[in-house]
Amino acid sequence: MNDDKGYRSALVTGASRGIGAAVARRLLAGGLTVYGVARSAEALAGVAAELGERFIPCPADVRDTDAILAGLGGAEIDVLVNNAGGLASVRPLVEQTAEETAETIALNLTAPLQLMRRLLPGMVARRRGHVFNLTSTAGRSVLPGTTAYAAAKAGLSQACHVLRYDLAGAGVRITELAPARVETDFYLSAFAGDREALRQKLYTTQRALSPEDIAQTIWAALSLPPHADLSEIVITSTDQAAGGQMFAARDGS
Ligand SMILES: NC(=O)c1ccc[n+]([C@@H]2O[C@H](COP(=O)([O-])OP(=O)(O)OC[C@H]3O[C@@H](n4cnc5c(N)ncnc54)[C@H](OP(=O)(O)O)[C@@H]3O)[C@@H](O)[C@H]2O)c1
């Protein structure tokens, strides 16, 4: 980066598409070397072909912290973007399988905690680091059918609050970034049914944020002076008021 913070490298999870790919692109444009994690080596190779040799693919499941660390080969990480996440399904908790519930918590809560546990000591030792945790407005308001996902995101949000106390004075920043709807394949892959109709409804009839909006937000937080920690960001499209209420009819239907 062209300032005194000295950030040179970033690890972005979920870098093969959607928000993560846009964030990787923005960080590279800002001069950082980016290590990109996703399960699909092929998709990461596609991103590398577009972004060039300062994008280093690290194919791994984000739940396998050892595999990610092995992929880094000892590289120091200044900026960690815990972005990989997902909805196994959208339905009431009692209708989810045990595997869906466990996977949702492992992906959205346990994996970012484990990565921070491994990477924060280096940042603290160097007195240089910035962690972004992608949560969601689903963790702050009510989106029916997302019990485990919402609980994981709310848990990650609370982890950020506690970490800021643990890290006070260490020179390491923790930013929680909670987007509302962003136009990616995220929801489409979790819903059963007519994908095109849903895409039309979510992203054409209504206006969502773009992945580039999120990348720009991360860059803005990163660009602040090193002592300024933009700790919580909620971002929505001007067409969306996240956190509405829903009432069942009196007869329960
Ligand atoms: N899109 C929205 O409306 C929205 C709103 C609020 C918050 N968010 C949050 O923003 C983040 C990014 O969402 P997105 O919309 O960009 O999602 P997306 O388009 O579905 O992309 C998800 C990324 O995560 C990777 N990934 C998924 N499971 C993984 C695993 N087990 N191990 C490693 N990588 C994994 C995927 O690659 P592979 O499949 O190859 O592994 C892909 O690169 C998530 O944390 C999500 O909860 C999204």
pLDDT of residue 193: 79
Q: What is the pLDDT of residues 194-221, one digit of tens each?
A: 888 988 888 988 889 999 999 999 999 9
Percent of residues, the chain, with pLDDT higher than 70: 95
Q: pTM of the predicted model, to two decimals?
A: 0.96
pLDDT of residue 173: 98
Catalytic one of 7, 149, 165, 203 = 149
**C-alpha span between 242 and 237 (Å, rounded):** 9
Over residues 150-156, the mean pLDDT reads 98
Quote the tokens at residue 96. Answer: 């989810």
Instruction: Tell which one of 11, 17, 115, 160 to mutate to probe ligand 1, the residue whose CB is within 8 A of the most ligand atoms.
Output: 17
Q: What is the pLDDT of residues 55-90, one digit of tens each?
A: 999 999 999 999 999 999 999 999 999 999 999 888
Burial (Cβ within 10 Å: 0-12, 13-18, ≥19) of residue 225 = exposed
Q: What is the CA(134)–ligand 1 centre distance, in A?
A: 10
**C-alpha span between 186 and 179 (Å, rounded):** 13
Residue holding tokens 């990989």?
84
Q: What is the pLDDT of residues 175-197, one digit of tens each?
A: 999 999 999 999 888 777 788 89
7 is catalytic: no
The fold for domain 9-181+211-235 equals Rossmann fold (3.40.50)
∠ at Cα 246 (243, 252), nearest 5°? Answer: 160
Radius of gyration of the chain (CA): 18
- Closest ligand 1 atom to the C-alpha of 149? 47
